[in-house]
Amino acid sequence: MYLVENDFMADPSVHLFDGKLYVYPSHDRESGIPENDDGDHFDMNDYHVFSTSDIENEPLTDHGVVLKVSDIAWAGRQLWDCDVACKNGKYYMYYPLKDKTDIFRLGVAISDNPAGPFIAQPDPIRGSYSIDPAVFEDSNGAHYIYFGGLWGGQLQRYRCNKAIECGHEPGDNEPALPSRVAQLKDDMLEFAEEPRGIVILGEDGVPLNAGDHDRRFFEASWMHKHNGKYYFSYSTGNTHKLCYATGDNPYGPFTYRGIILTPVVGWTTHHSIVEFKGKWYLFHHDSVPSGGKTWLRSLKVVEIDYSEDGEIMTIAGGG
């Protein structure tokens, strides 16, 4: 089911706040920049927020523009996938944006309302890099931020949280580059620790290699908990799948379990998973309404099911 018919929205991060579902997407637009592997054609410059109290029967309410590039002091270009977390009645939006030197950093913007508007902090999060922040609140109230993305997302330019001279991916038989995770400080504005790598193991207990393009992490991290297990889900990028791996704590390691969504129409695939009124939903996007334009994507939602042993039933993306 498509969620927003009159505009292009992608990368939905969805949370339950005050009994309503709030959807925080990227706002795709046509800026005329040609498609390339650096993702320059994803030239988004603002965010909208949407909400609903009945995802199956009520259209989303559009709360309008809540943050834009021109509101952010350190901005260069490209507002990609964002996420929002709540603590003590305040709402914190985490977003990736290229700075004035064309390096992706993660920023934070604050609001008293889940529907915004959000006021940007003057500087990016210290020590942050790459894209696709997703914030998970564990049952004990601790917040963890997951982030990272290859190619245009610049993750290949870093090792051990330091920029390397010539960004490159590891060799096919070397361990894959991992998504990163760090607990957030109490004030929600900084990493409380050095970001750690999220290791994904195969069934044999060995970390996935960089050459395993069908299963290795590429971008679009998401974390949720189901029946006490931690589910780390992500996109495989150039093989266009949404996959998941499970573990016993927010840091992992996680063991690869399977495919949530097979490729959709469009290059990117991105998602969030949330429980609402006793059902579990996958929010994602595809490029069907734009006729396959990879940079003009539309939001979708579908219910997902778990087997008794916690396996997520695969959904066909139609791509």
Q: How far is the CB of 198 from ligand FUB (least distance, A)?
A: 15
Among 268, 272, 287, 298, which residue sits at the site for ligand FUB (rule: CB under 6 A)? Answer: 268
11 is catalytic: yes
Nearer to ligand FUB, 133 or 252 (CB): 133
Nearer to ligand FUB, 102 or 194 (CB): 102
Nearer to ligand FUB, 183 or 294 (CB): 294
Among 67, 81, 109, 242, which residue sits at the site for ligand FUB (rule: CB under 6 A)? Answer: 81
- Residue 298 is a binding residue for ligand FUB (CB under 6 A): no
Nearer to ligand FUB, 3 or 228 (CB): 3
- Residue 42 is a binding residue for ligand FUB (CB under 6 A): yes
CA gap 121, 174 in Å, rounded = 38
Number of residues that bind ligand FUB (CB under 6 A): 13
Please identify which of the residues 81, 83, 132, 219 carries the catalytic annotation. 219
Q: Give, as ranges, the residues between 139 and 168 that touch ligand FUB (CB under 6 A).
A: 149
Cis status, amide bond into 253, omega within 30 of 0: yes
**Cα dihedral sign for 208, 210, 215, 218?**
positive
Helical H runs in the chain?
none
Among 83, 129, 154, 219, which residue sits at the site for ligand FUB (rule: CB under 6 A)? Answer: 219
CA gap 268, 289 in Å, rounded = 15
Task: Give the Å distances, CA to CA, from 125 to 81, 82, 141, 161, 219.
Answer: 16, 14, 21, 13, 19
**Cα dihedral sign for 10, 154, 213, 209?**
negative
CA gap 230, 310 in Å, rounded = 11
Q: How far is the CB of 169 from ligand FUB (least distance, A)?
A: 17
- Residue 26 is a binding residue for ligand FUB (CB under 6 A): yes
- Residue 132 is a binding residue for ligand FUB (CB under 6 A): yes
Half-sphere exposure of 226 (CA within 13 A, CB side): 25
Dig out the tokens for 277 from the structure.
């009124």
- Residue 270 is a binding residue for ligand FUB (CB under 6 A): yes
CB atoms within 10 A of CB 198: 23
The answer to whether 299 and 283 have CB atoms below 8 angstroms apart is yes
- Residue 217 is a binding residue for ligand FUB (CB under 6 A): no
Among 8, 80, 91, 222, which residue sits at the site for ligand FUB (rule: CB under 6 A)? Answer: 80
Nearer to ligand FUB, 81 or 212 (CB): 81
Please identify which of the residues 5, 11, 138, 303 carries the catalytic annotation. 11
Number of helical H runs and strand E runs in the chain: 0, 23
- Residue 83 is a binding residue for ligand FUB (CB under 6 A): no
308 is catalytic: no
Q: Residue 161 corresponds to which amino acid?
A: N
Task: Give the Å distances, CA to CA, from 244 to 216, 232, 261, 268, 273.
Answer: 10, 6, 10, 16, 11
- The catalytic residues are 11, 219
Residues in contact with ligand FUB by CB under 6 A are: 10-11, 26, 42, 80-81, 131-132, 149, 219-220, 268, 270
